[in-house]
Structure 1
């Protein structure tokens, strides 16, 4: 997970050896659409702009409109709250679109906010986000009810998929729960999204999921800094050419260039276009 203020260095479709076929959904569920294999990816959750004509896949925040004519992925902070916007003086500012969700969760869904022994919210100190409580089956059932309007809103706005963030919130829970609970909640979230007719991305967490993401219902991956950390192959194995790579300007370009050069002629062409 990265701060919206970070600048994207290059974003490209990661081209693997084979495509991952769509899993047939039960007849009661609407058909989902998967992102185009190897499609050039544009990552802009901090604010929309008109993508290049060569771009095929775009990820934007749920409060923004999808990109016309592109496969559009809707960003939702699924297992932590989103920081509330503040003015230059550090005080809260009006937020009619509910870009920030921390105060909203505290007020309307406080039961799904993780608390410490003193009853205080457990926070991700790096990003100023409260951890959501997914320790019990009851809470994992209650949380989708809170998030369902956003999921349905993504669909009605014209998005084809959802990018749920912080699938590894266990790592910031102070030991309150383990990754198994994140995985369990991902299953519940995926059911809710599939009911709305949306595909769901695996956002990072390659070491936790290994090659088992598709068995949870996840359809493709969005991988931040996998070239920098030499992890891209861990997404290529389960998702073939439906993992989409994001690198940032505060890291050297050399890692991305190496990753592009190491994956064959087609991949090099895609990377050259993206840079």
Structure 2
């Protein structure tokens, strides 16, 4: 659920941008149109799609720990796929697409769980989440067959978009999985989302943002702590205004007000407590840049 990979990938992205600028200069195209065709200047829906992008600059809330009535200023709400969407906001459905959800290990075929030295591989930060084995086309198709009904369920419930977590699971696989493996599965998920009328959101994995957008077809990004890790610009370079950032109150190197004022921070940013609890819990934190 939370940020796992803290690498920024700026060097790789900068090199890609440099090459792209050179090519576009020779062809007479503009960098803006190539890097951000889904920006606020190009309408609410990508060309050829019947899904809508998150409203640029809208105030978000992240409610994976439990659904509750959003504050009046909130325009974007992220909730788990087991919850109903928020009635009066752009609602994003959370799907753990590359690891098992806590409590759901038994619902997966054993051979779809990644094995290393005869043991199932678990996320070291989330020991109740096993990595799904994306290494072959057959396994990817079977994983997709289990997850695509969840995506379609998000659409049936009335969500506007779906975000896919743990895209970077390959980095925790002891080199058993690759980025290409996860991109291939991600493409199946994005196609299913678009087919169901949902926008598809990249969750975290800053260093892979360009590949996830260009090769898998993601439309926007949901990131955790991009201001803390100084990587927000990596996401906005790829997705423009369609980046939603959640910062957490227990790891702030500076005040949230300073983060909001930082020109590199996304306009859609919220401060939450680490466990994303509901307002009736004393640990609840919710602060917006407009506060």
TM-score grouping bracket, smaller chain normalisation: 0.7 to 0.9
Which sits farther off after the overlay, 173-182 or 126-135? 173-182
Q: With a CA cutoff of 8 Å and minimum separation of 6, indicate the structure with the bigger relative contact order.
A: 1
1:175 Cα deviation from its structure 2 partner: 1.6
- 1:125 is matched with which residue? 124
CA displacement at 1:255 relative to structure 2: 5.8
- 1:159 and 1:212 map into 2 onto residues whose CA distance is 25
TM value normalised by structure 1: 0.79
- After TM superposition, give the deviation of residue 2 of structure 1 in Å: 1.7
Question: Residues 188-203 of structure 1 correspond to what in structure 2 (within 5 A)?
Answer: 188-203=188-203
Shift of 1:253: 6.1
User: Is the Cα contact below 8 Å between 1:144 and 1:192 reproduced in 2?
Assistant: no
Count, aligned residues:
235
Indicate the residue corresponding to 1:40 in structure 2.
59
Distance 1:189 1:20, change over 3 A: farther
Q: Are residue 136 (structure 1) and residue 136 (structure 2) matched?
A: yes
The answer on whether the counterparts of 1:227 and 1:255 sit within 8 Å (CA) in structure 2 is no
Residue pair 2:257, 2:289 contacting (<8 A) in 1 also: no
Contact 1:170 1:178 in 2 (8 A): yes
Task: Name the CA distance, whole Å, in 2 between partners of 1:255 and 1:141.
Answer: 45
Q: Which runs of 5+ in 2 are unaligned?
A: 4-35, 271-287
Paired residue for 2:105, among 93, 102, 111?
Answer: 102
Secondary structure of 2:182 counterpart: helix
Structure 1: gaps spanning 5 or more residues: 4-15, 85-100
Distance 2:269 2:131 in 1: 40
Q: Superposed, which structure 2 residues align to 1:62-81 within 5 Å?
A: 62-81=81-100
Between 58-67 and 142-151, report the one with greater CA deviation.
142-151
Q: Is the 8 A contact 1:261 1:267 kept in 2?
A: no
For the 8 Å contact 2:241–2:267, the answer to whether it is kept is: no
**2-side partners of 1:199 and 1:41: how far apart?**
16
List aligned pairs for 1:1-275, cutoff 5 A.
1-2=1-2, 19=40, 21=42, 22-25=45-48, 31-84=50-103, 101-105=104-108, 109-118=109-118, 120-128=119-127, 129-209=129-209, 211-215=210-214, 216-252=216-252, 254=254, 256-263=256-263, 267=267, 271-273=288-290, 275=291
Moved over 4 A (4+): 266-271
Q: Give the TM-score, by structure 2 length.
A: 0.75
User: SS state of the match for residue 189, structure 2?
Assistant: helix
